[in-house]
Amino acid sequence: MQKHKIVILIPCFNEEKTIINICKRAKKFGHVFVVDDKSRDNSKKLLKKEKIDFKQNKINLGYERSLIEGFKFIIKKFKRVKYILTLDADGELPVDNIPKILNTVKKKDFDLVIGKRKSLNRLSENLLDLIFRLKFGYKDPVSGFKLYKIASLKKIVNKISNSMFLVDVPVIFLKLNLRVTNINISTTKRIDSPRVGNSLKSNLKILRIVYKILH
């Protein structure tokens, strides 16, 4: 796949330890674009120094809204792009997974490819994974490693929730009879605390997502 056909979208909040290495390694597969969620560390300074394409939110918007803003910006500004690949900035989802997801859409033009992690971080994620498999036939909807076909994403980008870790995206795609699939991906364990919130807060949020999916 030609590099100009894919933008690798990386949401970033206080990831100065990992963001530059992730961006440099991802560049070989496509155009890297970072949405910095008003980081309080040196993330912005490092991105500017390394001349990495990014925009910074004026205020801290959170994970979902940062991704949605990134989607909208890319759809508007990158006219020749066919796919958006989302990749977390913490290094937990290795860049080495990118060729596998690109080969998947080379073989069949899926609208959404979800990277299935071997192990999930929280009990609530495992519960959501089980429910999602039973109800929709797909795994790991919370995964930050996804490939979106832009033509399909355009149809629903204004309908994405700000509070569901983008779990609603595959649900909407499936309701529209768009093509969704899983691939298995490798993961590594991050050395510090996650940026999406403490364990209790994240578990409660995922349990609310479980409730919404079931109703």
Please list the alpha-helical segments (H only) found in 7-61.
19-26, 43-49
Q: Give Cβ neighbours of residue 106 (< 8 Å, ≥ 6 apart).
A: 1
CA atoms within 13 A on the CB side of 145: 26
User: For 109-121, b where at least 16 C-beta lie within 10 A, e where not — what string?
Assistant: ebbbbbbbbeebb
Predicted local distance difference test score (pLDDT) of residue 193: 55
Helix (H) or strand (E) holding 205: helix 199-214
Mean pLDDT split into 10-residue runs, the chain, 215 residues: 84 97 96 98 98 98 97 95 96 92 94 94 92 96 96 97 95 96 88 57 92 88
Asked if CATH classification 3.90.550.10 holds for the domain at 3-214, the reply, yes or no, is yes
Predicted local distance difference test score (pLDDT) of residue 63: 95
DSSP 8-state class, residue 5: G
Predicted local distance difference test score (pLDDT) of residue 93: 87
Predicted local distance difference test score (pLDDT) of residue 201: 87
Per-residue tokens: 154: 């355009």
Please report, as a single letter, which amino acid is at residue 51.
K
